[in-house]
Amino acid sequence: MSVEDNLLKLVEVETPDDQDYLLQEQVGFILRKAHQRHVSIFAAHIGDLTPPQFAALAKLRDVGETSQNQLGTLIAMDAATVKGVIDRLKARGLVELSKHEVDKRRLLVNLTAEGRDAIERLIPLAREITQETLAPLSAKEIATFMKLLAKLA
C-alpha cells in the first residue's frame, strides 16, 4: 500500500462523513433481507399458504370469531390488506364470513372445519420454520435476539 493510500485511509477514519454510508450495514436493509430469508424458508415448508394467510388462520384459532378489522389489528395488517387475505382464504373454504347481528358494519370471520384442520396440521411445520429461521444462532443468542427484536417491532 502506498503512502498516499495510507494517508487517504487515515483521513477517512478521522472524518466519517457521507463518504461512509454503507447500505449493507443499515438496519432497514438487513431487516428486509432477514425477512426475505424467513419468507423463503416458510415457502419451502408450507407451499400452499403464505405467511400472512397462515397468520390469519393461526390468530383465528386463538381468538375465535372476530371482525375482519379486528383480525387485521391482531395480525398487524391494514384493512385493505386483510380484505385480500380473507377473500383468498374464503375462496379456499378455510374461513367463513357472516354479518354481525347488532353492529351491521362488521363482517365476522371464523375458521371452517377445514380451516381448523389445516391450521392444526400446519402448526408443527410452523415450529420447524421458526427453528430453521433461527438456526444460525445459538440458544442464548436466540433469547437475546428475540428480546431486542421485540423492542424494535
149 near a second copy, rule: CB under 8 A: yes
Q: How many residues does the chain have?
A: 153
Query: Which parts of 52-71 interact with a second copy (CB under 8 A)?
Result: 55, 58-59, 62
- Per CB under 7 A, which region of 106-114, 115-123, 126-134, 142-150 contacts DNA? 106-114
For residues 18 to 37, the per-residue mask of contacts with DNA, x marking binding by CB under 7 A and - elsewhere, is: --------------x---x-
d(CA 137, CA 30): 16
**Taking every pair of C-alpha atoms in the chain, what is the biggest distance, in angstroms?**
81
Q: Which amino acid, 137?
A: L
Q: Which is nearer to a second copy, 55 or 68 (CB)?
A: 55
Q: Is 26 in the site for a second copy (CB under 8 A)?
A: yes
The answer to the question of residue 40 lying near a second copy (CB under 8 A) is no
In 2-46, which ranges are continuous DSSP H helix?
3-14, 27-45
Please pick, from the candidates 13, 23, 27, 80, the single residue that binds DNA as defined by CB under 7 A.
80
Per-residue binding letters, 111-130, with a second copy (x by CB under 8 A) = ---------x--xx-xx-xx
DSSP secondary structure of 88-122: HHHHTTSEEEEE-SS-TT-EEEEE-HHHHHHHHHH
